[in-house]
Amino acid sequence: MAENQQEQVTVMGDMNAHIGVLGEEVNRNGNLLLEFAEENGLEILNVTLAEGRVTWADRMNESAIDFILVNERARRYVRDMWVDECGQIDVMSDHNMLAMTYECGREETKTD
């Protein structure tokens, strides 16, 4: 994705990756996600910005396996990120809703 540095890049989804957000041991998918983020200059918003951490819960188990990553260019427009740990929004899943506020607008361009 280095070739996409001029673009606003957002990657999000269920990665089944444990990266230590809840103090858990990093798993294979976690290592892959951390390497992917580093190699592509992506910020993991769950770590740096999110309000809330638990993205999956079932019975007595909790985990953080869903993530939102952005590159520097996209990060300029991200205002906040929220994980619905209390289940305020029913998504009919054992995963919690992840929400990101993203300011849409055009970048200023200079005209001569």
Sequential DSSP letters for 34-66: HHHHHHTTEEEHHHHT-B----EEETTEEE--E
Q: Whose CA is closest to 67, among 85, 81, 88, 57? A: 81
| pTM of this prediction exceeds 0.95 | no
- Residue 5 clears pLDDT 70, i.e. is over it: yes
CATH superfamily name and code, 2-102: Endonuclease/exonuclease/phosphatase (3.60.10.10)
Characterize the bridge pairing of strands 42-44 and 66-71. antiparallel
pLDDT at 83: 97
Under the banding of pLDDT at 50, 70 and 90, the label for residue 59 is confident
pLDDT at 58: 86
Per-residue pLDDT of 32-42, as tens digits, reads: 999 999 999 99
What is d(CA 101, CA 111) in angstroms, rounded to the nearest whole number?
30
Q: Whose CA is closest to 12, among 94, 63, 93, 70? A: 70
What is d(CA 72, CA 88) in angstroms, rounded to the nearest whole number?
30
What is d(CA 62, CA 56) in angstroms, rounded to the nearest whole number?
6
- Residue 76 clears pLDDT 70, i.e. is over it: yes
Reduced to 3 states (helix: H, G, I; strand: E, B; else coil), residue 83 is strand
Note whether 14 and 81 are within 8 A (CB).
no
